[in-house]
Structure 1
Amino acid sequence: MSFQTTDLCDAHSDHLRVVAPMFKQFGGQVKFSGQVVTLKLFEDNSLVRDTLAKPGAGRVLVVDGGGSLRCALVGDQIAELAVKNQWAGIVVYGCIRDSAAINGLPIGVRALDTHPLKSIKKGVGDVDIPVTFGGVTFTPGDWLYADEDGVIVSAAPLL
């Protein structure tokens, strides 16, 4: 990856949205970008697994987990599935687990924190709808760019 979010902000500040600095960095890919796919759910990661089992084609899964800090929505098995299916990254407004294993995978992950407890599995949630957190609305088809300095979102590709 040859971008810096700081440079993209300098060049395109009127065309992008900057996510509040709220995420911890996980995964072996510090810098990642791709077109956004969204999920909205609460303490149930069934749709996360279902979505990441499909071809990612370099896209980024944005999961609005309601900011819950009571369980994890992504673990090492789901992250491995994302790598296998060529997803560029996962942004979770919630927690992940198995962070040591995820840190060894070639994928970018941002989450609020870690939690050892797995989620429930009822298959409840919404797919491909606009979701809002961190002061930004993520719309399916937007473009997300993440690096050491933050996460930004644009309606059109910046590169």
Structure 2
Amino acid sequence: MSAVFSTPDLADGAPEARALLHSWQDFGAVRCFSGVALTVKCFEDNSLVKELVQQQGDGRILVVDGGCSLRRALLGDQLAAKAVENGWSGLVIAGAVRDVEILETLDLGVKALGACPQKTDKRGEGQRDIPVEIGGTTVRSGDYIYADRNGVLVSSEALQPL
């Protein structure tokens, strides 16, 4: 869900909030977004990402542990457009995206580590709703995610209304 907040202010007010320590890049048109996490772990195979963005997002954020690989893009324009259509607030991807010129026009928050023009192989691999470790922090489905240009915070409790 698109929101207005500052992750530094949220972190100052909630010392229990944890930052996902990476050099995140913004790729979507929405730069400040929040929602409840749904976790995915996959490596260079976005089969599960594709499956999930085709389902109702209900303002959630798909948090993808892609093993920090920049060799294959886990999100492109078609899947991002499907995420918008189905009401996802955003995606936080510890991996790569592609079609960046189109992603920046979509009403979606997208944080990733970089871009790569190559698509993934579809092997039907991946796990969902498992704890994932990204940037030294464990994220679980059901955690609250807050992302802006300063970075990404995760909390087991809501830090403000979504």
For Structure 1 versus Structure 2, the TM-score category normalised by the shorter chain is over 0.9
Equivalent positions of 1:9-158 (< 5 A) are 9-13=11-15, 15-158=16-159
Displacement, 1:2?
2.5
Misfit runs of 4+, over 6 Å: none
- Deviation track 1:26-76 (CA, whole Å, cap 9, x = no partner) reads 100000000000000111001001011110000000010111111101000
How many angstroms apart in 1 are the aligned matches of 2:48 and 2:4?
Answer: 32
Kept after mapping to 1: 8 A contact 2:147/2:153: yes
In structure 1, give the amino acid aligned to 2:51: D
Q: CA RMSD in A?
A: 0.7
Kept after mapping to 2: 8 A contact 1:34/1:145: yes
Q: What SS is found at the alignment partner of 2:80?
A: helix
Kept after mapping to 2: 8 A contact 1:22/1:134: no
- Deviation track 1:125-159 (CA, whole Å, cap 9, x = no partner) reads 10100000211111110000000111100001111
Q: What SS is found at the alignment partner of 2:14?
A: helix
User: TM (normalized to structure 1)?
Assistant: 0.97
Unaligned runs of 5+ in 2: none
Q: What SS is found at the alignment partner of 2:102?
A: helix
User: Identity over the aligned pairs, expressed in percent?
Assistant: 47
Structure 1 residue 5 corresponds to structure 2 residue 3? no
How many angstroms apart in 2 are the aligned matches of 1:8 and 1:123?
Answer: 37
Unaligned runs of 5+ in 1: none
In structure 2, give the amino acid aligned to 1:101: I
How many angstroms apart in 1 are the aligned matches of 2:69 and 2:36?
Answer: 25
